[in-house]
Structure 1
Amino acid sequence: MDFRLDLIETKIEFFEAYDLKTLELKIDQQIESNKALLLDVFSINHQVVFNPKTEKMHYSAVVHFKAKR
């Protein structure tokens, strides 16, 4: 039986919330978690749209993590 460890080179995660503060909190928590995997933020893209069903703004973000070099 072989035991192998592979590093995660890149990881993309998606987040959503109904207010900006909650979205930032979710992203910050995941950044801290990914530090244990030796991943840093490479880029962040975000978007906000109005949701007519809930009559609220809907915030979303995509965070691309890459391995530290």
Structure 2
Amino acid sequence: MSHRTLAITLGLIGWGLTYLIAKSRKDAVRREARLSRKQLTTWEGEGGNLTPPPSPAVTSATRADLH
């Protein structure tokens, strides 16, 4: 086996491993996002609503009360 053939083979193996790792990470992120959406839908179906963000006036008053 020549050095050139060995280098090409190792390059292809490296590329293949990199591709598989990247694909598995991408699939894991998608699976996690899908699960999160499903859990949120289930939670909202149980009567829960997302809490609204605090208004700036309430935040400032709360900070003043803490000092």
Q: What TM-score, normalized by structure 2, do the two folds share?
A: 0.29
Higher strand share: 1
Higher relative contact order (CA 8 A, sep 6+): 1
Structure with the bigger percentage of helix: 2
* Structure showing greater Rg: 2
